[in-house]
Structure 1
């Protein structure tokens, strides 16, 4: 992300790029996407998932007491599935704010077409903005900076990010650059599977969205490094343990034509009030 414009003393530096409507009070927030938006890595299926969208809704509710929020995201969904399954229900809810975060599951598949994936995302951007919603999305970090075994995917992530930026610009979408900051590689921002954000990671993503919306009290601290701590060294043994615990089961599901989201539905399909 380019640096924020330099502010005079006492002024707030605005985030570079397109930003949300300053001071706007949102009343209907709808989140579309896959496991990150559903909240995997932040809570569990027994106690409940929180995640970036829940956290953003809580921040919005501090300044929009009448806010209602729906989360249509389902883990394992490809961008085309998000479009096919979630776009129509989202439009029916008439959101004035929507987040659309999808595409990583596509990047991980053997067959990947950046234009096809971006086309699904752009179709959602176009439909939601045409119905009056302020739409927000994210670009993705280089997965190889998080787990070395994912380094061959770097070109895919870069290609998808380029297309997300272009599509976002065409439709007035707020595109938040979360992957450019060194802190993104800090293991404390990632869950043990290295594919989903940890609670702290979800908190940082929500903070990036709040900052792009210029919510009162938001700032760029989400880009700051965490306090120093002893970091585990990346070793071959550690990579092999990770592959056995997480990569192997994921590949097994793909070979069987299954998904972690099979038989799952949205956790919050209706607009409901939010308690900040």
Structure 2
């Protein structure tokens, strides 16, 4: 079916961090997906309500009502990773917020008999223990959460981009040096995965294929890289938590209204 009104909900990944820069603007996988939708129909409109640093509860409280007012026919919901990495993570509560969003979006009454309930797409998360070995202790928590996401999505007819089973989603070339945000290539991969899940024209399963192997890295260099990551990214993140601050402070959605899509899609090379 054609999708003419696409709304993206989420945090920094959906906002598009590290695909572009603060001066030129962040693009990200949701923008790239909107471009792919526009290739199929030039009338597509797109809103991106995502804000970096948001927890699932914030996305439900702040972004969901705005999304419902826009009456989309396609919605993507990427949420939960900011919750999962916190010591206070409550799997039941976070899954509850996700399921409430699924229920509200899928239960939206159509504007006319010619419309159906919105198509909703959500995501499992890749193996963070392989992306950032220093946090591999979180793997059991991640596996449980992914299972919960799949089950909640099945109960509400929500499509799932299942990232975890595919090695390519953990490839370091897909992730920025902070190990949190995708590179431009990673954002392109996510867009291709959603397009495949939606069976958009020209999409296929090529996004699941692994990249060519990287050269082996000596153990001492890997250890140095991990130490640098702890000092550069984990340390400042912990300081913000202790001070009660968030990267979301003072920020609003970059594209709060449904507007015509501009630009060309960038596909995975």
Query: TM-score normalized by structure 1?
Result: 0.89
Equivalent position of 1:18 in the other structure: none
Question: Residue 198 of structure 1 aligns with which residue?
Answer: 183
Structure 2 Cα separation of the partners of residues 60 and 233 of structure 1: 43
Is 1:139 aligned with 2:124? yes
In the alignment, which of 208, 212, 221 is matched to residue 193 of structure 2?
208
Report if the CA contact (8 A) 2:127-2:170 is conserved. no
2:10 counterpart (33, 47, 59): 33
5 Å-filtered alignment, 1:1-276, equals: 24-131=1-108, 132-230=117-215, 232-233=217-218, 235-275=222-262, 276=264
Gaps of 5+ in 1: 1-23
Q: Give the C-alpha shift of residue 67 in structure 1.
A: 0.4
Comparing 167-176 and 222-231, the one that deviates more: 222-231
- Quote the Cα distance in structure 2 between the aligned partners of 1:232 and 1:43: 28
**Aligned twin of 1:11:** none
Structure 1 residues 144 and 229: alpha-carbon distance in aligned structure 2, compared to 1, 3 A threshold: closer
* CA shift for structure 1 position 155: 1.4
Give the secondary-structure state (helix, strand or coil) at the position aligned to 1:196: coil
Number of residues of Structure 1 aligned to a counterpart in Structure 2: 253
Deviation for aligned residue 1:169? 0.3
Q: Matches of 1:117 and 1:174 in 2, distance apart?
A: 18
The Cα of 1:233 is off from its aligned counterpart by 4.8
Partner Cα separation in structure 1 for residue 140 and residue 209 of structure 2: 26
Q: Are residues 253 and 59 of structure 1, via their aligned partners in 2, closer, same or farther at CA, if it must alter by over 3 Å?
A: same
**Aligned partners of 2:216 and 2:206: how far apart in 1?**
21
| Alpha-carbon distance in 1 for matches of 2:16, 2:216 | 25
1:185 Cα deviation after fit: 2.0
Aligned-CA RMSD value:
1.1
Counterparts of 1:44 and 1:266, CA distance in 2: 16
1:114-135: per-residue Cα shift (whole Å, max 9, x none)?
1110100011111111112100
TM score, norm. by length of structure 2: 0.92
Partner-residue secondary structure (3-state), 1:270: strand
